[in-house]
Amino acid sequence: MIERLHREESGFTMLEKLGIALVILTALVFVPAIRGAIGDAYDAIFKNTDESGQITQASIAARGVLVTVTALIAFNGTGFLLLYTNLGKRLAFLVGGAASFGWLAIGSLLFVVYAPRGLRPARIEGLNAFQIRVPAAAVMIGSFILFVMFLAAMNRLEEAEAAETA
C-alpha cells in the first residue's frame, strides 16, 4: 500500500506541469516583445477583417470556439481541482464526471418537459411540439447513461479499495 502511494506521488503530475507552464507563460507576458507578439497573434486570429472592414466569419467562429473551450475548462477544471485536493485524482475524476453528466441530464430533462421560451413550436416551419424536443431528449438519455457509468465506476473503485485494505 505504501509503495503504491509513493509510486503515484513521485514526479510531477500533468496538472502540476500545466500549472508550471501557465506560471512561466504569465511571467513571459511581462516582457514587452513577447506581449506584443501575443497581441499581434490575437489580432490576426480574432480581429481579422475583410475589405469592407467587417470582422470575418472565421474570426467570429474562432472567438466562439475560444469562449466555449475556456468556459468548459473553467467549469470542469475548477470543480476537478477542488475535488482533487480532497479526494485524490481517480475519485475526483469520477465524482466530477458524475456531477457534470448528472447536471446535464437534469438540465436536458427540464428542457424536454418545459421546452424553451421564445417562439412557439407551432410557428417554426416544419417542426411540431414533439420534434423540437428530440435533440434535448437525446442529450438527456446520453448524459444519463454516462452518469450511470460514472456511478458504476465509482462503485468498482470503492470495492477495489475495500478489498485492498482488507
Above 60 in pLDDT, residue 158? yes
By the 8 A CB rule, do 83 and 95 touch? Answer: yes
Taking all residues of the chain, what is their mean pLDDT, rounded to a whole number? 85
Q: Residue 152 — pLDDT band, cuts 50, 70, 90?
A: very high
**Percent of the chain residues past pLDDT 90, beyond the cut:** 37
pTM: 0.64
Q: What would the pLDDT profile of 14-66 be if each residue is shown by its tens digit?
A: 777 888 888 898 898 899 999 899 889 888 888 888 889 898 898 999 999 99
Q: For residue 10, is pLDDT > 70?
A: no
Provide the pLDDT confidence category of residue 1 given band limits of 50, 70 and 90: very low
Q: Distances in Å between the alpha carbon of 92 and those of 96, 98, 107, 114, 152?
A: 6, 10, 22, 33, 14
Q: Which three cell numbers stand for residue 142?
A: 446520453
Q: With pLDDT > 70 as the criterion, what percentage of the chain qualifies?
A: 86
What sign does the dihedral 133-137-143-147 (CA atoms) show? positive
Give the contacts of 154 (CB within 8 A, at least 6 positions apart).
Answer: 91, 94, 95, 98
Residue 130 has pLDDT above 80, yes or no: no
Whether 149 shows a pLDDT value over 80: the answer reads: yes
Q: Does residue 8 register a pLDDT over 60?
A: no
Least confident of 12-16, 42-46, 101-105, 119-123: 119-123
